[in-house]
Amino acid sequence: MNQAIRHSWIAAVAMFALIFGALSYVQVVGADELKANAWNKRAILQNYCNDRGAILVAGAPIAESVPGSETCKFQRTYTQPELYAGITGYFSKNYGVTGLERAMDGQLAGSSDQQFLDRIGQLFLGNQPKGASVELTIDPKIQKLAYDLIPDGQRGSIVVTDPKTGNILAMVSKPSYNPNLIATQDATKEQAAYNEIIKIPGVNLNQSVSGPTGALLAPGSVFKLVDTTAALDSGKYNADSQLPNPAEMSFPGIQYKLPNYAGGNCYTRNTAGFAFALQQSCNTPFARIALDLGENAIAEQAAKFGWGQELGDQLKVDYQKSSFPKNLDDAGLAQSAIGQRDVRATPLQIALMTSAIANGGVQMAPNLIKAVRSPDLRVLDEPKPAALRTSTTPEIASQITEWMTSVVSEGIGAGAAVPGVQVAGKTGTAELGTDGLNNSWFTGFAPANDPRVSVTIVMQGVDISTGAQLTSPNAKKIFEAVLNK
């Protein structure tokens, strides 16, 4: 009997050994994974009431912690909430943290590795913890201008970058929302605001990302820049190639016909050079190129411009990867080549493609962060311009720049022309269905010979004439604002 008692004791001790193992796993081994879980509110509650570092644009805070209530010493406030909501995100007690507030949380909260010594100091001196400030590359004037260029009630995005450095100068989208409403300490108001804001189409608070880095849109004719690059890169085409330009293309076995744009001048020629095809944005020459080169060649060139790829670690905000479909039949490939069907790109992706062409074929990593500074203004981090990937050769980039310049000087992108400056551009009109509404695009850069700024504009769900008014002419205003200051 005593032997059996000892065995029972061993069984009980074995159970306890399992408990010790499980406790060690939860509290130490697996703890980091649990702490990083998106449902875990402890991290935010831990520093919710602390003095969090500011997010700065040209030295002025767009997000800052101001003295709060008795129970919660600091309150997060956004000084120009709608204008910057897409970048800052929000810092909410019950609805989590998004945007740069989340991506830069370590630095803003003061818990990053670089701030370790500061924390030790705070511990011994008894100072309140204070986070680092994050200065952005955004130019506040351009940001404001771009935001105002999208009419209220219109869905659209604008991305302005410096193609040589990858710095983002402006990144806006409408509709926007007021993050102050969700960052309030009043839980009832917070919940009410959240429930209102999630109803706004296109804001997508409950999704991870939206706007310039998150909206996946059909790129339309701006995708023809990918076809052109792939064509020149293949060696089968050169600057002087004449492309077949029928009014419409038919495909064996199906009713569907792929037409040229009826309103333009494409019908005037049965064959066209690249310059004419791009200027008038004819569809059939590019569909023919895609069928000639094959799906893989187009997909590979798209990937070289960033489709489906990582966008580097200086962007910080969340983004969606753009996509090019697979296993297409001829009609599908032809439609995809003109940016219809299932090709999808974010406004930022189109901006990166254009910037790569502007920068001699080298795509710079998109960058939002100018500097991270500790509370005593020491620089903790200062990202340097970094090449993300080589999208094409300098020769091809230069050739395409020449053609894009003619799109603005002689073609349908004339609205973007700035007197005295060579502007390179490409328009796009992606049909959304049969109701005549489109996603209207402009992407381009200036000056063409020494690019300092690239501008990408998309207006969603507009008819042809509204789209034409809201894209190229607005790009012109941004070019002028950046170049004339």
Active site residue 241: no
- Does position 206 interact with another protein (CB under 8 A)? The reply is no
- Does position 116 interact with another protein (CB under 8 A)? The reply is no
Residue 6 or 257: the one with the smaller Cβ distance to another protein is 6
- Does position 379 interact with another protein (CB under 8 A)? The reply is no
Using CB under 8 A, count the residues that bind another protein: 36
- Does position 128 interact with another protein (CB under 8 A)? The reply is no
Residue 102 or 224: the one with the smaller Cβ distance to another protein is 102
- Does position 39 interact with another protein (CB under 8 A)? The reply is yes
Amino acid at 136: L
- Record the tokens describing residue 149, joined without a space: 């260029």
Closest distance to another protein from the beta carbon of 34 (Å): 4
Contact 219, 339 (CB under 8 A): yes
- Does position 120 interact with another protein (CB under 8 A)? The reply is no
- Does position 12 interact with another protein (CB under 8 A)? The reply is yes
- Record the tokens describing residue 416, joined without a space: 């973007």
Closest distance to another protein from the beta carbon of 191 (Å): 16
Contact 351, 442 (CB under 8 A): no
Amino acid at 439: N
- Does position 35 interact with another protein (CB under 8 A)? The reply is yes
Residue 95 or 445: the one with the smaller Cβ distance to another protein is 95
Contact 73, 49 (CB under 8 A): yes
Closest distance to another protein from the beta carbon of 14 (Å): 9
The Cβ of residue 15 has, within 10 Å, a number of other Cβ atoms equal to 9
User: Nearest-CA neighbor of 294 among 255, 262, 257, 326?
Assistant: 326
- Does position 377 interact with another protein (CB under 8 A)? The reply is no
Site string (357-376) toward another protein, x via CB under 8 A: --------------------
* Sole residue written with tokens 């209220």: 152
Which region among 18-26, 113-121, 140-148, 411-419 touches another protein (by CB under 8 A)? Answer: 18-26
- Does position 13 interact with another protein (CB under 8 A)? The reply is yes
Which region among 19-27, 236-244, 255-263, 330-338 touches another protein (by CB under 8 A)? Answer: 19-27
Query: Please, which contacts does 61-66 make with residues 24 or more away whose CB atoms are closer than 8 Å?
Result: 61/133, 62/87, 62/88, 62/136, 63/88, 63/91, 63/100, 63/101
Site string (45-84) toward another protein, x via CB under 8 A: xx--------------------------------------
- Does position 9 interact with another protein (CB under 8 A)? The reply is yes
Write the CB contacts of 384 (distance below 8 Å, at least 6 apart in sequence). none
* Sole residue written with tokens 């351009």: 142
- Does position 42 interact with another protein (CB under 8 A)? The reply is yes
Closest distance to another protein from the beta carbon of 216 (Å): 22
- Does position 2 interact with another protein (CB under 8 A)? The reply is yes
Catalytic-labelled residue, pool 157, 221, 355, 374:
221
The Cα 453–Cα 275 span in angstroms is 23
- Record the tokens describing residue 387, joined without a space: 């090449």
- H/E stretch holding 468 reads helix 464-470
Residue 24 or 127: the one with the smaller Cβ distance to another protein is 24
What distances in angstroms separate CA 227 from CA 64, 135, 136, 288, 363, one per listed residue? 45, 38, 34, 10, 17
**Interacting residue with another protein among 18, 117, 262, 377 (CB under 8 A):** 18
- Does position 11 interact with another protein (CB under 8 A)? The reply is yes
Residue 39 or 124: the one with the smaller Cβ distance to another protein is 39
- Record the tokens describing residue 38, joined without a space: 């998106």
Contact 424, 448 (CB under 8 A): yes
Residue 8 or 449: the one with the smaller Cβ distance to another protein is 8
Chain center to CA of 320: 7
* Sole residue written with tokens 């950046």: 482
Contact 109, 131 (CB under 8 A): yes
Closest distance to another protein from the beta carbon of 317 (Å): 23
Closest distance to another protein from the beta carbon of 97 (Å): 16
Residue 16 or 256: the one with the smaller Cβ distance to another protein is 16
**Interacting residue with another protein among 41, 141, 452, 477 (CB under 8 A):** 41
List for the chain the helix, strand, coil content (%; round to 5).
40, 20, 40
For 355-412, list the strands marked E by DSSP: 362-364, 369-373, 379-381, 387-390
- Does position 27 interact with another protein (CB under 8 A)? The reply is yes
Q: What is the CA radius of gyration of the chain?
A: 26
Question: Dihedrals φ, ψ of 260, to 5°?
Answer: -75, 160
Q: Looking at residue 208, what DSSP letter applies? A: S
Which region among 1-9, 85-93, 113-121, 231-239 touches another protein (by CB under 8 A)? Answer: 1-9
- Does position 119 interact with another protein (CB under 8 A)? The reply is no
Contacts with another protein by CB under 8 A lie at 1-9, 11-13, 15-16, 18-20, 22-28, 30-32, 34-35, 37, 39-42, 45-46
Q: Which sequence positions are flagged as catalytic?
A: 221
